Structure 1
Amino acid sequence: MSLILSDIRHSYGEREVLRGITIEVARGEIVCLLGPSGDGKTTLLRLVAGLEHLQQGRILLDGRVLAEPGQEIPPEQRHVGFVFQDYALFPHLTVQENVAFGLRGMPKGDRVWRVAEALARVGLEAYASAWPHQLSGGQQQRVALARALAPRPAVLLLDEAFASLDARLREQVRDDTLHVLQEAGIPALIVTHDAEEAMFMADRIALMREGRVVQLGTPEQLYLQPADPFVATFLGEVNRLPARIREGQAWSVIGCAPAGGLPEGSPAELLLRPEGLRILPAGQEGSTLAEVEACRLLGATTLVHMAVADGEGGVLHLHARLPPGAALVRGQMVGVALDPGRAFAFPRAQGGIPGGGQGATEAQSA
């Protein structure tokens, strides 16, 4: 069982929001649609669910055409489960009645059993008679998930399903949801603008920008082999270092990394993950001298702010992430070097990084 989206294009008036999306979600696979708000992710889910009319392209589920121009199966016949951002629970129905809503027409005995099975799957058997307003946000989200799973859909869609939860509860609920999805074994398509959430939930991520898929791959591929600066910065924080190409390497003041075929002698930008910035004893061979500006424990990691001379009379401000317990003090001199496996070279754009994203940390000259 697989979901195939082929060359999907969609416009609202003159505004094109989807520009040729092609994605296949295999049986049991979780694919996250990641990207900034307003880039067409929710529209894509609505097209799969049949809540929008398909203008161009084709949507297939297990070889059956769900939609193509001029031919669409009604939403209620698509066997698609949908968990909305606001959960869309009916306040006048109990939990078990909400879950049973999509099972109308089924014999009562089968319906009761199916509701019990769905609630057990999300760990809410004891809340069957409760009303939605009596539940926490996390419990409401799980009721919405149970309602979507009760009809045994062929594919499940989740639209920013954890966005309204506080940070601590969000971690627990998405962990529970991941186990449920893996157990269900059906294709799942999840919309989020949170890179960490996508990396946690997804087998593959489709990073979208302006209605197009910029890169499709595993979380590891997007994080460690970004296709462009937008991907690199959207998936996590980076230090930005000016560099120049020599003999296939992008050379910066703190070291070099493979340049990926950039022209010899051309200016480049080296994007370095904070965990790829190594801190060594001052003066150690192969390192560059840096001054510690701040050292802060952030729980699982320690964040170190440093200043490095840029070789042109200015200063670059860099961030390093270390294991907890690092004891560095302001004004301390250390050596720094880079891990080439956490550094990515791209052509230098006039005026800065092309396509800079959420996680970029500017290594500025001062």
Structure 2
Amino acid sequence: MSIRFEGVSHSYPERGQVLRGLDLDVGPGEILCLLGPSGCGKTTLLRLASGLEPLQAGRITLGGQLIAEPGRETPPEGRGVGFVFQDYALFPHLTVEENVAFGLRFIPRGQRKWRIMDALARVGLEGFAAAWPHMLSGGQQQRVALARALAPRPSVLLLDEAFASLDARLREQVRDDTLHVLQEAGIATLIVTHDAEEAMFMADRIALMNAGQIEQLGTPTELYLTPATRFVATFLGEVNVLPARVHAGRAETPIGTVPAPEALGNQPVQVLLRPEGLRVMTAPSADGPAAPLAGDLSGCGAVAEVEACRLLGATTLVHLAVPDGQGALLHLHARLPPGVWLARGEKVSVAMDPQRAFVFPAEAP
């Protein structure tokens, strides 16, 4: 079943307007992540969908049926919407089984036990029915909260920063487990997060929000490789900022050129380059020609000096200093395969991968 938001706006007296005419559809079985900085309206949208906030403007439909418009609200218990809160909201005086049963008060008693155990089995906690919340790890508590939300078999599932309180290593495992549970359940799911990596891992589509509106909506690949705005490019991952000017349809930078949109004309622009798009080649030596460290470097753009080199596990992060052509140095980051090692002070050649470079108007100083 799908959920649709049409022209949704909302404001708070102390914060002003937090949603501005937002339109969004979440299809049956789709996992959609609401991504964005704090205060952009992500959690407010979940609260409106669940009925925890009255709708001020617009309308919300579930499976084509109206569930909210100004002055007309289906109560939360009648919407068929499950909610996993950031702090899990487990009842400390109830066992795991009793917590999961809380959402099944209107289910015939004969079916409750089966529903409870089925929900716990989905999250791998069937052996913890008699445990108390304080006896569980953070990851297990999160899975109990997910089981409680799934037990009533909702039409839509909402998760609000559900992994934020977990440490990094546990968060990766719980996210992976939760993704499999959600895919198997086949329920339209709306996940709020401010973590771009988490959104790209979990989502079929991402709605990147900014100041109460959707800045760009699309698959993780679309947002990462074809950002519509500077905000999208920078929020989805680290970028190097290169000054440039458009000439003959190309943006010219200190390390090479890339195609530029015609609409930019000849105005000053900036090229945003992902660290993995900064290609590096060792300088020629007496023992042989230059050796590429990352991709094809035909026509390298500039010579850079290595300032630092750090192994980060899956990648090697290299800090580089490149002359900007105006008497100053640009500080750039490159991400190379693990095992590559460059010494501080070493000279290398650098160029851009056009697929990882994005051209936007220059920001005002």
TM-score range, shorter chain: over 0.9
Q: Distance in 1 between matches of 2:263 and 2:336?
A: 31
Amino acid across the alignment from 1:145 = L
In the other structure, the counterpart of 1:183 is 184
Moved over 4 A (4+): none
Amino acid across the alignment from 1:122 = V
Q: Distance in 1 between matches of 2:140 and 2:87?
A: 13
Q: Distance in 1 between matches of 2:106 and 2:324?
A: 71
CA contact (8 A) 1:296 1:302 kept: yes
CA contact (8 A) 1:301 1:321 kept: yes
In the other structure, the counterpart of 1:312 is 326
In the other structure, the counterpart of 1:364 is none
In the other structure, the counterpart of 2:11 is 11
Deviation at 1:263, TM superposition (A): 3.2
CA contact (8 A) 1:245 1:262 kept: no
Amino acid across the alignment from 1:286 = G
User: In structure 2, the residue corresponding to 1:157 is in which secondary structure?
Assistant: strand
Deviation at 1:261, TM superposition (A): 2.2
CA contact (8 A) 2:244 2:270 kept: yes
In the other structure, the counterpart of 2:39 is 38
In the other structure, the counterpart of 1:363 is none
Deviation at 1:265, TM superposition (A): 2.1
Q: Distance in 1 between matches of 2:134 and 2:262?
A: 58
Q: Distance in 2 between matches of 1:247 and 1:188?
A: 46
Among 330, 338, 349, which residue is 2:344 paired with?
330
Structure 1 gap segments, 5+ residues each: 352-366
Q: Distance in 2 between matches of 1:344 and 1:262?
A: 14
Q: Distance in 2 between matches of 1:278 and 1:247?
A: 24
Among 307, 310, 315, which residue is 1:301 paired with?
315
CA contact (8 A) 1:156 1:188 kept: yes
Amino acid across the alignment from 2:219 = T
Alignment of 1:137 with 2:135, yes or no, is no
Alignment of 1:348 with 2:348, yes or no, is no
TM-score normalised to structure 2 length = 0.95
Please list, as runs of the form range in 1=range in 2, the aligned pairs for 1:179-328 lying within 5 A after superposition.
179-282=180-283, 286-287=299-300, 288-328=302-342
Q: What does the per-residue CA deviation read over 1:191-247, in whole Å, with 9 as the maximum and x for residues that have no partner?
A: 000000000000111111111110111111111111111111100000000000012
CA contact (8 A) 1:262 1:347 kept: no
Alignment of 1:61 with 2:62, yes or no, is yes
Residue range with higher mean Cα deviation, 131-140 or 4-13: 4-13
Q: Distance in 2 between matches of 1:277 and 1:230?
A: 20
In the other structure, the counterpart of 2:125 is 124
Q: What does the per-residue CA deviation read over 1:285-310, in whole Å, with 9 as the maximum and x for residues that have no partner?
A: 62211111111100000000011111
Amino acid across the alignment from 1:12 = Y
CA contact (8 A) 2:264 2:361 kept: no
CA contact (8 A) 2:208 2:216 kept: yes
Percent of pairs with identical residues: 70
Amino acid across the alignment from 1:84 = F
In the other structure, the counterpart of 1:355 is none
Amino acid across the alignment from 1:220 = T
Q: Distance in 2 between matches of 1:99 and 1:254?
A: 58
Amino acid across the alignment from 2:322 = V
Q: Distance in 2 between matches of 1:305 and 1:262?
A: 33
User: In structure 2, the residue corresponding to 1:115 is in which secondary structure?
Assistant: helix
Q: Distance in 2 between matches of 1:349 and 1:165?
A: 37
What is the Cα-based RMSD across aligned positions, in Å? 1.0
Amino acid across the alignment from 1:343 = A
Q: What does the per-residue CA deviation read over 1:302-360, in whole Å, with 9 as the maximum and x for residues that have no partner?
A: 00001111111111111000110002100110100000000000001211xxxxxxxxx
